[in-house]
Structure 1
Amino acid sequence: MADLKAKLELPGNDSIELPVKQGSAGFDVIDISKLGSKGYFTFDPGFLATASCESAITYIDGDQGILLHRGYPIEQLAVDSDYLDLCYLLLYGELPTKEQYAEFVHTVKTHTMVHEQIAFFFRGFRRDAHPMAMLCGVTGALSAFYQDSLDVNDPRHREIAAYRLVSKMPTIAAMCYKYSSGQPFVYPRNDLSYAGNFLSMMFAVPCEEYKVNPIVERAMDRIFILHADHEQNASTSTVRLAGSSGANPFACIAAGIASLWGPAHGGANEACLQMLEEIGSVDRIPEFIARAKDKNDPFRLMGFGHRVYKNFDPRAKVMRETCHEVLKELKVQDPLLDVAMELERIALEDEYFISKKLYPNVDFYSGIIMKAIGIPTSMFTVLFALSRTVGWIAHWKEMLDQPGHKISRPRQLYTGETARDFVDLDKR
């Protein structure tokens, strides 16, 4: 195929030809890297029309409702795979063989414990500290405990750090919950699955045996799968930005956690539950539906529609089925869950929601599942971070594996004062 060029006319009757790059799927992109030689930069607030990197990990087509990890549809992965199978795929680019899978699972399980001094580290936090604050702090502090995997220029160090983060994040996340609730930390159990082990560390207590419910275990595994990666979102871009400077992997993932904590990013399922609490009961739903349809009312129904997916969220269908399985299994009596199910019914039948494609999204269903399981709202974003850790690591590793990668340095459109003389304090 002939090399494509885009011609840009510049002020002063000047012009420049810019290469057009084509990916294996999605939009073509214009390579503007040479534009600076002409004294110009592009202005793109939020980088909404800028490809910040070249990646082979995840592809999204929001108009068609497509989400692929290394080419595999998320619907197939969520039903036929498990989280560690997906982790291997994201990290290495191909699905593992049986032997590779067994070795990978074994390696992850042998790294699930954290350094015992980290338990003392938690004691420095207030008991009412937000779990995300603790997760961010402890994750960043891992670089002080695992100094034998901090050389980002060493591929083996990068691999060890990847295993440690995937393995230890459930342990640290569960410790955040246990510390908040005043219960003792529960050590990991390597006889359980990744999701089962996390549930055990969350809900087991020393005074009695804990048995993992297989329906809940599968639901937890699917939540992990469906949140594992989502292309160049804010937190993933943050991890890449931090990693471009050569920062150690634990610091980079802590930066991603901090970005995810923002309510516009990782707090969607938490916001959904807060909305359900605001509605309160089924008989008040018509009032809030009317408010949602009123253009002059600031109220918004959280958990419906998606910024990226203009048609439907491909993750939501699997999560919906899982949600109903969990509610049926646990028989939870909770008025907020009744509100959620009635909202779902209306959204799938009401012409207003159908015409605007405001279908329940993955955050709506995952929030309901976690509520039913007994996970507090303050832990929702922590679970999101746990799930997304492997995606962050995959992007971090991919960036460092690419030859000639550079430290990120976005430009700006300066609108401040131009040069002016300093005025002595006694003359102001």
Structure 2
Amino acid sequence: MAELGHEVVGVDVDPNKIAMLSLGKAPFFEPGLPEILATGMASGRLSFTSDISQVRGAQIHFVAVGTPQKKGENAADLTYVNAAIEALLPHLGDGELVAGKSTVPVGTAQRLAGRIADAGSGAMLAWNPEFLREGFAVQDTISPDRLVYGVALGESGAAAKALLDEVYATALSKDTPLVVTDYATAELVKVSANAFLATKISFINAMAEIAESTGADVTQLADAIGFDARIGRRFLNAGVGFGGGCLPKDIRAFTARAEELGRGESVAFLKEVDSINLRRRQKVVDLVVESFGGSVFGKRVAVLGLAFKPDSDDIRDSPALDVAVQLKGLGAEVLAIDPEANSNAARTHPQLNYVSDVDDALTGAEAVVVVTEWKQFRELDPVRVAGLVSRPFVIDGRNCLDPVAWRAAGWTYKGLGRP
């Protein structure tokens, strides 16, 4: 927002995060973020604080806190959203706008709008979901593919739209599509988009399961059906499945909310989407175990990748980290490496052996598992690294390697859904 020319104050309850940001240091890895963070700080338009009173006088208050999965349940935990709204209430003024960014169950915005109205400040609420992709979040903020405003009816809705139009003036001047709708639809846009993407990924992984039983090649299958404009090739990459802080917990929360509304049957298929996704993680582990004749105890396994996707250090619900931890639990000596996620993974799973150089992970390995498709893993020279391992066996958990080249270099290559 500062990059777009606005005066911004960022508020968080974590003093360590505020201290890092105030020094111009990003608290997580995101390409392009350190640069625009430095630019924003240098411009004087961007500051950070843990004092919520510093938001007084702001025209718009974006609420962008997490909505994690509740422990022991599928539903979303709205503790942080509710706390953020309650913290804001004493500092809101007439005509100001609270704009929700967080992914919430449908019906949340209407409830929060009532809470803000009851407080009597004269502030308004809009729901303005974010569609940022990790690894591309800066680009997606500066040049979004669409904007969605969920606003109230009447004058307050018109006033909310006018304020948001000012915020997004740059994007709107480039004819970015804009959908102005009600609260419920805006909330559903985000969760339904994530549900669709998760379904598409699990669909091709279900086809991978069929391919594995028939000798078909799921990659060629995806290419063939992807030429159909109604289907498209994107998100049809079979492999170890999706993870991260959005798709898994969002489809579970969507299912839980639908059941609360008495419409559980409408999204019952999402439970199978989730199940297929989790099965693919187990498939990778099973392939490693099978390659050793039924036991990995004491075997040296290199796991390449820990983040749930490349260009991120996010390990939330990461299939890659899950595979590494499962193999360790079965008694394997796991050497794990990720260009950005090692430290995050080590905090939650110190039992793994972490290395910072891929050659160190590969040296003496009896099996290699590629589970996050970082460029440096995709571009490994199979001839060179064959000389490092003690057993040239590789499982391509992302179908990102060239099977012909790896087999020609003497490797036993196993892809997912590939003959």
- TM-score, normalised via structure 1 length: 0.28
Q: Which has the higher strand share?
A: 2
Q: Which has the higher helix share?
A: 1
Using CA pairs under 8 Å that are at least 6 residues apart, name the structure with larger relative contact order, 1 or 2: 1
